[in-house]
Amino acid sequence: MHIDLTGRTALVTGSTQGIGAAIAAGLARAGARVAVNGRGEQRVAESIGLLAKQVPGADLVPVAADVSSDEGADQVTQALPQVDILVNNLGVFGTADPLEITDEEWRRYFDINVLAAVRLTRLYLPGMTERGWGRILCIASDSAIAIPAEMIHYGMSKTALLAVSRGFAKKAAGTGVTVNSVIAGPTHTGGVEDFVYELVDRDLPWDEAQRVFMRTYRPQSLLQRLIEPDEIANMVVYLSSDQASATTGGALRVDGGYVDAILP
């Protein structure tokens, strides 16, 4: 299958590292003009420098703004009035005793992991609808379905994101715009390495620490390893393409078989 996104403009929120950076690279390889987003100008510039080496000739646009705020979202739309592909990737995660999560922390997770996606979808969906083509993707998590006891606030936010995606897909019905979510399983990123070492012996070499983590905390995984960010990006690039025109309102799993269900 040859995916050609030439002529399309994509915005990937939280794309200076991890899954977001892999998605930005994947879309750029497929020919899209890609807006790289992060909160700081220097971090965005550094990320674009790395992506330019990975994808020579890529058309990359720096968009430094905190999209979890109204002001940041306005900055983004001013810098990028029109997008064809919106990937709501921005998110935070961490462990916490459920009884010690404050109201403020619950709100912070909801604001960043859910409302940022709602806000940008609300801003960009009308233009996509007018043009008769668009792709909106929300990066969710297996934690949306199998809520981890050690991160209920994170799981809650990702469950809400599935509902947001399905609801906006109904709003976009019959317009040529598709809205989907991608359920990412345990993925190998720098942040996840830190997370793993919060739960297992920090003196263990990474390969062994990863195995202990998967065996102890994610034994349901059929893949029995962490997923690489490029594997998530491959699904996003496909869903961003013309070839995925009949896929909307879905929650597509790239979870290594972690969720023990035929359907999400």
Write down the domain spans for the chain.
9-187+227-253
Active site annotation includes 154: yes
Q: What's 130-168 look like in SS3?
A: HHCCEEEEEEEEHHHCCCCHHHHHHHHHHHHHHHHHHHH
- Whole-model pTM: value is 0.94
Condensed to tens digits (0 to 9), the pLDDT of residues 238-259 reads 999 999 999 999 999 999 999 9
Arithmetic mean of pLDDT, 27-31: 98
Percent of the chain with pLDDT over 90: 89
Average pLDDT on 31-35 reads: 98
Fold of 9-187+227-253: Rossmann fold (3.40.50)
Q: How high is the pLDDT of residue 99?
A: 97
Kindly list the distances between the CA atom of residue 77 and the CA atoms of 81, 124, 263, in Å, as whole numbers in the listed order.
5, 8, 35
Residue 263: band (very low, low, confident or very high) from pLDDT cuts 50, 70, 90: confident
Specify the pLDDT at position 76.
97
Summarised one tens digit per residue, pLDDT across range 205-220 is 998 999 899 999 889 9
Report pLDDT digits (tens) over 219-242.
999 998 899 999 999 999 999 999
- Choosing from 109, 154, 197, 238, the catalytic residue is 154
